[in-house]
Amino acid sequence: MSECTHDCSSCGKDCAERTAESFRKNLREGASVKKVIAVVSGKGGVGKSLVTCLMASEMQRRGFNCAVLDADITGPSVPKSFGVHEHCMGTDEYLLPVTTHSGMQLMSMNLLLENETEPVVWRGPVIAGAVTQFWTDVLWQDVDYMFVDMPPGTGDVPLTVFQSLPVDGIIIVTTPQDLVGMIVEKAVHMAEMMHIPVLGLVENMSYFKCPGCGREHAIFGESRVEALAKQYGIAHWARLPIDPAVTAMVDAGEVESVSGEQLSPIVDAIEKEG
């Protein structure tokens, strides 16, 4: 039998020392992050990045030091939403996060590429390794809340984040379609498997409010978020409308100016729990 290196991440043995904590990666010396919240979904195209940016911006407005770790390596959109296009700086020992207009800290693959439209054509293990380095090699400075924008599904990167980072809770993003109930269930079950609490459920594209008559129209079907939250025992939920004005602001890099009022039930709960 080979001698144990105490590096459980590279070991296939099942032993008493192999615990959830054994997979955790430490921040580099001098870095500080108090709470980590992952924003997830079982499928793509539901607006995880938007919800991540809005949650972080709302917490920043409330006086907390916030950060966004963009774990969607092959589809990074967070920097553009904040109007950030410069490259991150660093030394031989660490990287410095880029800051937004409000002082929020960001790290994303797009901040490292020569050209932000350049595709990242990597295999899963390399992508997962990059996400881990965004945690271990970045000098995160006095962060109260870090929001992690996850890629869709339950594959390599979500598993790496849940095992390597001390995730305090997740927010699940969904849309009104019937098939999304199954997608939510997958995300809930993964959270249960990883022993991570679900802090809230957000239904994006929930309705369109007509500027003429003021009525709400269910473009993608009637809202199911309250029923889903009750079904899976999720205490806090929120609905986000289809709003062309919000789309325009995000495209212009002004997501920090978008009101996060609809997310207040979840933001209030996170702030209360500390």
In a domain, 9, yes or no: no
Average pLDDT taken over every residue of the chain: 90
Contact present, 137 and 92 (Cβ < 8 Å):
no
Q: Is residue 22 part of a domain?
A: no
In a domain, 16, yes or no: no
Q: Is residue 82 part of a domain?
A: yes
78-95 average pLDDT score: 93
pLDDT value at residue 215:
93
Residue 43: give its domain's CATH number.
3.40.50.300
The angle, 0 to 180 degrees and rounded to 10, between the axes of the packed helices 124-136 and 156-164 is 30
Q: Which residue has the tokens 């959270």?
A: 191
Query: Which residues form the domain of 78?
Result: 27-273
Domain membership flag for residue 10:
no
Q: What is the pLDDT of residue 155?
A: 80
Residue 14 counted as domain residue:
no
pLDDT at 120 > cutoff 80: yes
Give me the pLDDT at residue 19, please.
Answer: 52
Q: Is residue 4 part of a domain?
A: no
Tell me the pLDDT band of 239, cut-offs 50, 70 and 90: very high
Q: What is the DSSP letter of 138?
A: B
Q: Please, which pLDDT band fits residue 59 given cuts at 50, 70 and 90?
A: very high
Chain center to CA of 37: 7
Residue 258 has pLDDT above 70, yes or no: yes
| Helix H or strand E segment including 54 | helix 48-61
CA distance 219 to 181: 17
pLDDT tens column, 13-33: 555 444 556 689 999 999 999
Q: Can you tell me the mean pLDDT for 136-152?
A: 96
DSSP for 92-118 reads: SS-EEPEE-TT--EEE-GGGTSSSTT-
Which two tokens mark 202?
Answer: 């957000």
Identify the pLDDT of residue 16.
45
Do the domain assignments include residue 8? Answer: no
Query: Which residues lie below 8 Å from residue 130, measured CB to CB, with a gap of 6+?
Result: 73, 109, 122
pLDDT digits (tens, 9 = 90+) for 158-199: 899 999 999 999 999 999 986 667 788 888 999 999 999 999
Number of structural domains the chain divides into = 1
For residue 5, pLDDT beyond 70: no
Burial of 128 (0-12, 13-18, 19+ CB in 10 A): buried
Angle, CA of 199, 162 and 28, to the nearest 5°: 110
pLDDT at position 43 over 90 = no
170 within 8 A of 162, measured Cβ to Cβ: no
